[in-house]
Amino acid sequence: MSRWRVLIGSRSFGREFPEHLELLRAAGCEVVPNTTGRAYRAAELPDALAGVDAIVTGTDELTADVIEAAESLRVIAKHGVGLDTVDLDAARARGIVVVATPDAVTDSVADLTMGLLLCLARQIVAGDRDVRAGGWTRTTGIELRGRLLGLVGLGRIGRSVAERARSFGLGVAASDPYADPASSAVDLVELDELLRRSDVVSMHAGLPAGAPPLLGARELALMKPGALLVNTARGALVDEAALADALRAGPLAGAALDVFAAEPPAGSPLLSLPNVVLTPHSGGQTRDALRRMGEETARNCIAALRGEGVPA
């Protein structure tokens, strides 16, 4: 007989690597599959979580009301990094353990960030589209050496992007109110100064639920003429309507986005702009990252259910 019931909210957990589901079963868990084919909405979770000890969550809406109603819930194991969809205060008040896998996707997201930057700098996507359409218009891009990359956020992924950027000859600066200047290997400046100075701005910050975007019309207007923007962090960090205006009329020359305020971004003004590269929130979607993330998620969930120590 199973000791615990574990609801699989995440759509990707166990899909590529079913052995991660077997880790749960081998530890005495009954695996309860996702029956929606998507993330659970708040209205659906009270029924889905009835009699459940743990949830392996992706972007399920674990609101305060949901958490308070889930009487048997003991563990929220995030299959990923961000906890934006989990009411952490409500979980803490209930004594529910919340654990994520912050290191699992660092290299994959940093790699994609640099890939998107190169696509913008060398207009790779535009060139591909042209050749496929029968054209042969040579695009004129820019070199990265000697230009300044401004990182908005200097956590694990921001630091990994900085490491990669230096190998391309980019200078690196960052804006992060939580970074320690004494231990930082990059120049730390205020956000407005970073936007004014940077040739490329790359987003790697968090954003509290309900907070306004870090980059709105005012902030985008501060950026250098011809500057590029990359966002592989959170769609809500950037005001998409203001970004579309900045890409149409300046100052921005291009943007590359892996994340959006609403996903998929149906009806977004960014979809029709030729100087935008778009990817479907795939920063952590490598086999390497998914293998690490799934195994860490399963082991975190099991350890928390057993009352053992879990990563902070």
Q: Convert the chain into a string of H (helix), E (strand) and C (coil).
A: CCCEEEEECCCCCCCCCCHHHHHHHHCCEEEECCCCCCCCCCCCHHHHCCCCCEEEECCCCECHHHHHHCCCCCEEEECCCCCCCECHHHHHHHCCEEECCCCCCHHHHHHHHHHHHHHHHHCHHHHHHHHHCCCCCCCCCCCCCCCEEEEECCCHHHHHHHHHHHHCCCEEEEECCCCCCCCCCCEECCHHHHHHHCCEEEECCCCCCCCCCCECHHHHHCCCCCCEEEECCCHHHECHHHHHHHHHHCCCCEEEECCCCCCCCCCCHHHHCCCEEECCCCCCCCHHHHHHHHHHHHHHHHHHHCCCCCCC
pLDDT of residue 164: 98
Q: Which residue among the candidates 20, 197, 234, 292 is catalytic per the annotation?
A: 234
Look up 234 and say whether it is catalytic.
Answer: yes
> pLDDT band for position 210 (50/70/90)?
confident
Average pLDDT taken over every residue of the chain: 95
Catalytic residue among 19, 22, 143, 263: 263
What pLDDT shows up at residue 181?
84
Instruction: Tell me the pLDDT tens digit for each residue of 161-201.
Output: 999 999 999 999 999 999 988 778 899 999 999 999 999 99
Instruction: Tell me the pLDDT tens digit for each residue of 289-298.
Output: 999 999 999 9
Catalytic residue among 11, 122, 156, 281: 281
What domains can be seen in the chain, in order of their start residue?
Answer: 4-104+287-305 (3.40.50.720), 106-278 (3.40.50.720)
pLDDT tens for 37-83 read 999 999 999 999 999 999 999 999 999 999 999 999 999 999 988 88
Q: Specify whether 263 is catalytic.
A: yes
pLDDT at 312 > cutoff 70: no
